Structure 1
Amino acid sequence: MTSSGPEERGASITPPISGATRLYAVLGDPVAQVRAPALLNALFGRLGRDAVLVPVLATPDDFTDVVGGLKRVGNLDGMLFTVPHKAAAARLADRRSTVVTVAGGANAMRREPDGSWSAENFDGAGFVRGLAAAGHVLRGRRVTVSGAGGAGSSIAVALLDAGVGGLSLYDPDAERLAALLKRLDEHWPGRSVGTEAPELELADIVVNATPLGMRPDDPLPFDPARVPPGRVVADIVMKPRLTRLLKRSASLGLTVHPGIHMLDAQLDSYRHFFRLG
């Protein structure tokens, strides 16, 4: 009996790694939850690019050294960053976009022809496009964001740019929150406020922009029972797709918006940023 080939078994066929393969890395701690390798490697395949994106586990203590080492890898063209490295990544870039400067964090970095590194942050733009694609109107709406870290800051920038009616921000790190509010006020004076707890009762859309929900035993970032009926609860956590927060919100009759939409909506941005064609 002859064994069936991969086509007959229904397995997908991907181009083999070659000596000319271009490398990309996504850095995080943890990193096992990231969805970027599956999505970006599929994109490379569709575009016929000899390239691969691999996950890299880098602790905060080792992050600067790891990034420095990766920058020296001659066939590495770009890096992506997830929790908790986005602020540190921005500091390690040679050039930063306006979004990176205002948000204070980067989730992508590319090697330029001269060997320098440019940073960008697509979290916020991806999040806003994901909401729009799901039919959620932002202009004039009141939005509460819990979390002022790398993703939350980028989302705050994109929400204000999209014309939300009011933005309420919460983060347990008061110093980090104050610094973000100061940067936002330089571009959108008086459009955002900081609170000592997530402002839920007046919000049309409430966003969890923290890592809470990645682990089964994580506490809820806020109590969805305080969110008024008919409102939207969104999460940036991508795995699991339905976090405890979203499951609890759905059980209360609230509309939920999973985090995977944020990454899906960034794919075209990555394609242009990394000049993939």
Structure 2
Amino acid sequence: MTHPRQYAVFGHPIAHSLSPQIHQAFAQQFGIALDYRTIDAAPAAFADAVKHFFEHEDGRGANVTLPHKAAAFALADERTKAATNAGSANVLTRLPDGRIAAHNTDGAGMVRDITERHSIDLRGHDALMLGAGGAARGVAWSLMDAGIASLTIVNRSPDAADALADAIGEPHRVHTRYWEDLDNIGSYDLIINATSAGTLGQSLTLPFSLAAPRALCYDLGYGKSAIGFLAWAHAAGVRYAHDGLGMLVEQAADAFELWHGKRPETEPVYRMLRATKA
């Protein structure tokens, strides 16, 4: 009997992670016996934990969540373009020669969730990105590639917003504004919440004037962390308001395909999670 290859998700904390449930559901579609577990690694221990997993535990692939995505990118031997743009990785893969490759599937997962699951065409949208940290960097380039007309980045620290705009390098499409100006910067038909406010249990005080009548509001988080932003979106009267649960499933499907060479069906897994987590 061959020992199943090892897969894991690294985070701190990590007990709440849905990744084991998602990957087991994907594996069942193909009759794959999957050994996938959570590994709680404090930041100081992360690099050694990853090295041990890949070198001594027959680890073949790992998902990476907060707060380790930048560290995962830094320790990799090879990096995809999406990971390089984001400066972070949510997937690590052991290559045949033993080196570690870093991927970032967050942006592709978000766009697929919006355009395919929710059937919303992003082309021509004027987008507002709230936040300019790792989550924002993980999805910004994918939004641009999806054909949005403009991206305005607002962050409490303007330097981070400016750095992200400079990195994208399309000054005619990407702009930054100050958080204090939210009351008078106009309205947008796509608003992405990439802040950590919901995760930290903080409330976002946003003017309703930001939301155009037919706007899509999208929180990169899901569950409790997205409640506040989605409540604001509904109160603002937007047409669509979605959390990032579908994005979570889609980015996991990309990781699964990288590791197993098979593309899982995401909709039944999304519906299962929505039924238990909504």
TM-score, normalised by the number of residues in structure 1 = 0.83
Which residue is 2:274 aligned to? none
Which residue is 1:67 aligned to? 50
1:271 aligns with 2:253: no
- Take 1:72 and 1:210, find their aligned partners in 2: how far apart are those partners? 35
* Contact 2:187-2:209 at 8 Å conserved across structures: no
Which residue is 2:12 aligned to? 29
Which residue is 2:267 aligned to? none
- For structure 1, the 5+ residue unaligned runs are 1-17
Which residue is 1:166 aligned to? 150
Number of paired residues? 256
Of all paired residues, the percent bearing the same amino acid is: 30
- Take 1:89 and 1:226, find their aligned partners in 2: how far apart are those partners? 39
| 1:231 CA displacement | 1.6
**Equivalent position to 2:87, from 104, 118, 121:** 104
Return 61-70 or 86-95, whichever deviates more: 61-70
1:135 aligns with 2:119: yes
| 1:165 CA displacement | 0.2
* Contact 2:131-2:195 at 8 Å conserved across structures: yes
Are the structure 2 counterparts of residues 25 and 172 from structure 1 closer, same or farther at C-alpha, using a change threshold of 3 Å?
A: farther
- Take 2:203 and 2:15, find their aligned partners in 1: how far apart are those partners? 20
* Contact 1:97-1:119 at 8 Å conserved across structures: yes
- Take 1:271 and 1:125, find their aligned partners in 2: how far apart are those partners? 14
- Take 1:224 and 1:126, find their aligned partners in 2: how far apart are those partners? 28
Are the structure 2 counterparts of residues 176 and 241 from structure 1 closer, same or farther at C-alpha, using a change threshold of 3 Å?
A: closer
**Equivalent position to 1:121, from 104, 108, 111:** 104
Which residue is 1:209 aligned to? 194
One-letter amino acid matched to 2:177: T
* Contact 1:224-1:245 at 8 Å conserved across structures: no
Are the structure 2 counterparts of residues 114 and 153 from structure 1 closer, same or farther at C-alpha, using a change threshold of 3 Å?
A: same
Which structure has the larger Rg over C-alpha atoms?
Answer: 1
One-letter amino acid matched to 1:24: Y
TM-score, normalised by the number of residues in structure 2 = 0.83
| 1:160 CA displacement | 0.6
Which residue is 1:190 aligned to? 172
- For structure 2, the 5+ residue unaligned runs are 263-278
- Take 1:123 and 1:145, find their aligned partners in 2: how far apart are those partners? 15
One-letter amino acid matched to 1:192: V
- Take 2:226 and 2:136, find their aligned partners in 1: how far apart are those partners? 19
Superposition RMSD in Å = 2.3
- Take 1:71 and 1:174, find their aligned partners in 2: how far apart are those partners? 39
